[in-house]
Amino acid sequence: MTMRSETPVVFECCGFRLFGTLHVPAHGPADTGIVLVNAGPTDRAGPHRLYLEWARRTAEAGYPTLRFDPRGTGESEGEWAEALRDGPVVQLYQQILGGAWQEDARSAIAFLRARTGVQKVLVVGLCGGAMTALAAGATEPAVRGLFLMGTPVTHSTATGRVADLPRTTITQEWRRYLRKLFDFGAWRRFFTFRTDYRTLLAVALSRLRHLRQGAQNAHAPDRRNPLFVERLEQALAAGKRVEFLFAERDFLWQEFQEQVLHRPRAAGRAAIPVTVIREANHTLTEPEWHEQAFQRFMAWVAHPRGETRAGKVA
């Protein structure tokens, strides 16, 4: 372990000041730096302080690391007034999935390079941060790798509609309702108006629609975010290293399987490396899940060509 410094920094994006923290190793200049991109409209510490801990550890390992608040979050300037005025907070995620923060991430990449002198940058993100990392990094020459955790590949996290959930999730929910047919307490809630009738009906209609569409092994309708498809193709075509990491109990992992892994690959295209953390939830709240994800990330950093296989479970 080596000592490292943590320095508050300020840089500009689209006329706004962005505030961040730069973690710098104590043992001299490095060739590769890391940028951590916010998961959503939260501050740069990350869910359960994940980004803070990762930045400290990657700096101790010798990699200058920047975590920052994009526009409208944390200490940075800018606001989401239009989105908040027109609808619920969940609409912010719709904008993030559409690339609202890609310029913020590009500014962070440029700042890290100018401040530390690194030539290569690895960009890391969780959830909406993964989409931002991909949107910004796919076309940035200095970005050599993208480590994407819990990546939403459709807009289901923003719409909140049952019909947009993966088939596997709908099937699991439908079976859960069927088991309740033999539960007296469930019937009592149903007849005393304590059941979520709207969700029950939505699950039933979605299940019926899936059955009408054919066998369960048929390809699900393509609902992928066009920006995700475009940027992933650009990143792979440019030879950038891309690895996905998912939590086993995250419905986004089911979505990724249906919308990405189960679709035919382009001719000659290698499988996309994927690591899955057993039993984990979306934000990797338990220390052992957090540690497994970090160790997978550090192994990915240390081995440029990677040795994972698609679907590997950690």
Identify the residue whose tokens are 């969940």: 90
pLDDT level of residue 272 (50, 70, 90 thresholds): confident
Q: Is residue 218 part of a domain?
A: no
- Tell me the three state secondary structure of residue 277: strand
DSSP state of 188: H
DSSP state of 103: H
Q: Do 124 and 238 fall into the same domain?
A: yes
Q: Do 124 and 233 fall into the same domain?
A: yes
What is the distance between the terminal CA atoms of the chain, rounded to a whole angstrom? 25
Q: Is residue 271 part of a domain?
A: yes
Q: Is residue 177 part of a domain?
A: yes
Q: Do 88 and 153 fall into the same domain?
A: yes
Identify the residue whose tokens are 């916010």: 38
Q: Do 134 and 38 fall into the same domain?
A: yes
Q: Is residue 240 part of a domain?
A: yes
Q: Do 154 and 172 fall into the same domain?
A: no
Q: What is the pLDDT of residues 147-191, one digit of tens each?
A: 999 999 988 665 566 556 666 766 666 677 677 777 778 777 767
Q: Do 44 and 150 fall into the same domain?
A: yes
Q: What is the pLDDT of residues 202-259, one digit of tens each?
A: 656 666 766 676 654 456 678 889 999 999 999 999 999 999 999 998 989 988 988 8
Query: Which tokens belong to 162?
Result: 């049952």
Q: Do 112 and 205 fall into the same domain?
A: no
Q: Do 48 and 104 fall into the same domain?
A: yes
Burial class (CB in 10 A: 0-12, 13-18, 19+), 69: buried
Q: Do 149 and 271 fall into the same domain?
A: yes
Pick the range with the lowest mean pLDDT from 105-109, 110-114, 154-158.
154-158
- Domain region containing 197: 167-213
> pTM here?
0.81
- In this structure, what are the phi and psi dihedrals at residue 192, rounded to the nearest 5 degrees? -110, 20
- In this structure, what are the phi and psi dihedrals at residue 25, rounded to the nearest 5 degrees? -65, 155
Q: Do 149 and 90 fall into the same domain?
A: yes
Considering only CA atoms, which of 130, 134, 153 is closest in space to residue 143? 134
Number of structural domains in the chain:
2
Q: Is residue 125 part of a domain?
A: yes
Q: What is the pLDDT of residue 291?
A: 96
Q: What is the pLDDT of residue 267?
A: 46
Q: What is the CATH number of the domain that holds 230?
A: 3.40.50.1820
- In this structure, what are the phi and psi dihedrals at residue 10, rounded to the nearest 5 degrees? -135, 135
pLDDT level of residue 12 (50, 70, 90 thresholds): very high
**Cβ neighbours of residue 265 under 8 Å, at least 6 residues apart?**
271
Q: How many CB atoms lie within 10 A of CB 138?
A: 23
Highest mean pLDDT among 52-56, 92-96, 199-203 belongs to 52-56
Q: How many CB atoms lie within 10 A of CB 295?
A: 11
- Sheet of 32-37: strands edge to edge? 4-13, 16-25, 65-68, 32-37, 120-126, 143-149, 241-247, 274-277, 312-313
